[in-house]
Amino acid sequence: MREFALENVTCGYKDVTVLSDVSFSIGPGEALCLLGPNGVGKTTLFRSMLGFLKPFGGRITLDGDDIATWSSRTLAKRIGYVPQNHTPPFAYPVLDVVTMGRLSRISPIASPSKRDTEKAAECLERLGISHLADKLYTQISGGERQMVLIARSLAQEPEVLVMDEPTASLDYGNQVKVLRQISHLVKEGISVIMTTHFPDHAFLCATKVGLITRDWVRFGTPDEVVTEDSLRETYGVDVRIVKEHTCTCGTLKGCVPIVEFAAGDTSGERARLEHEKGTPRQRSHVAVCA
Ligand SMILES: Nc1ncnc2c1ncn2[C@@H]1O[C@H](COP(=O)(O)OP(=O)(O)OP(=O)(O)O)[C@@H](O)[C@H]1O
């Protein structure tokens, strides 16, 4: 069975180690969600998985092959990437940008075929953004660009799809659309590795979670790793994990951070102490869905 695996990977920049001894594996039909505070090294780990950064130690393999031995063309064919931010280089029409996702499948001396263009149009359709096809990539919004990049990665037909905060800068509807697409891709057998700043996403579409802090990295199922204690330890915030049973979706789980304050008091610390003393009439609780 195809497996994408990191074995004791240590990575960073020049003489600065960002992450040490990271190991995990995912197979077809699995989605790994990487969570962790700003600056802990999620993007650095991604750069290593994509061959942009050479790990200081350890091995990254797909089907047992060390990706360090692959050409950039093979990497691009087998591992897709949706970056966090993308500065458009040229004013290409959106359909051409998505067709560029096919480049690793086209001979270097050939032009994209009708089939390649059709595949790109199909990916735009799948994400509900066909209306953008003829617009210039430099003249669409940041959220629309994000959707286009996702379409481009689908056009690539990779075995492993690495997505750096795929829902960042998307409106609520498009966030849900992207999470649904991720679930569909996983059901089709693609292995997805994504970062997010929303632990709820782990419950919504991941089969595995990697929680990264400055002191430790923990991998497991969403239920094992995303807990009230681990989120408090990782982000220093008080969170409730809530469950909702529905007949159609089974059990839904979500994370609700507790934002509390005492009326007329701007001191969060005082509010916290009052909360601990259990004086409910003197405090208001506002639960904000992330
Ligand atoms: N090109 C670089 N050269 C040197 N250090 C870097 C470089 N890029 C990032 N870093 C450092 O590596 C560490 C990890 O950064 P990284 O971007 O991987 O974090 P992250 O977890 O993806 O953060 P965020 O959630 O904010 O995107 C940070 O301390 C950052 O300053």
154 touches 97 (CB < 8 A): no
Q: Which two tokens stand for residue 176?
A: 């849900």
More confident residue, 95 or 83: 95
175 touches 147 (CB < 8 A): no
pLDDT-derived band at 263 (thresholds 50, 70, 90) equals low
Task: Give percent of the chain above pLDDT 90.
Answer: 52
Backbone dihedral region for residue 64 (phi beyond 0: left; psi -120 to 50: alpha; all else: beta): left
pLDDT for 278 equals 47
Q: What is the DSSP letter of 208?
A: E
pLDDT for 282 equals 39
Domains of the chain: 4-223 (3.40.50.300), 237-290 (no CATH)
Is the beta carbon of 43 within 6 A of some atom in ligand 1? Answer: yes
Is the beta carbon of 32 within 6 A of some atom in ligand 1? Answer: no
Is the beta carbon of 44 within 6 A of some atom in ligand 1? Answer: yes
Is the beta carbon of 41 within 6 A of some atom in ligand 1? Answer: yes
Q: Which residues pair with 210 in a beta bridge?
A: 34, 219
pLDDT-derived band at 9 (thresholds 50, 70, 90) equals very high
191 touches 79 (CB < 8 A): no
Per-residue pLDDT tens over the stretch 166-198: 888 788 988 888 888 889 889 988 999 999 999
Protein residue with least CA distance to atom 4, ligand 1: 13
Query: In a mutational test of the pocket of ligand 1, which residue from 20, 42, 44, 167 has the highest number of ligand atoms less than 8 Å from its CB?
Result: 44
Q: Can you state the percent helix, strand and coil of the chain, rounding each to 5? A: 40, 30, 35
Distance CA(44)–CA(48), nearest Å, equals: 6
Is the beta carbon of 75 within 6 A of some atom in ligand 1? Answer: no
**SS3 label, residue 205:** helix
State in Å: Cα 196 to ligand 1 middle: 15
Protein residue with least CA distance to atom 30, ligand 1: 39
pLDDT for 109 equals 67
Is the beta carbon of 167 within 6 A of some atom in ligand 1? Answer: no
Per-residue pLDDT tens over the stretch 34-75: 999 999 999 999 999 998 899 999 999 999 999 999 988 888
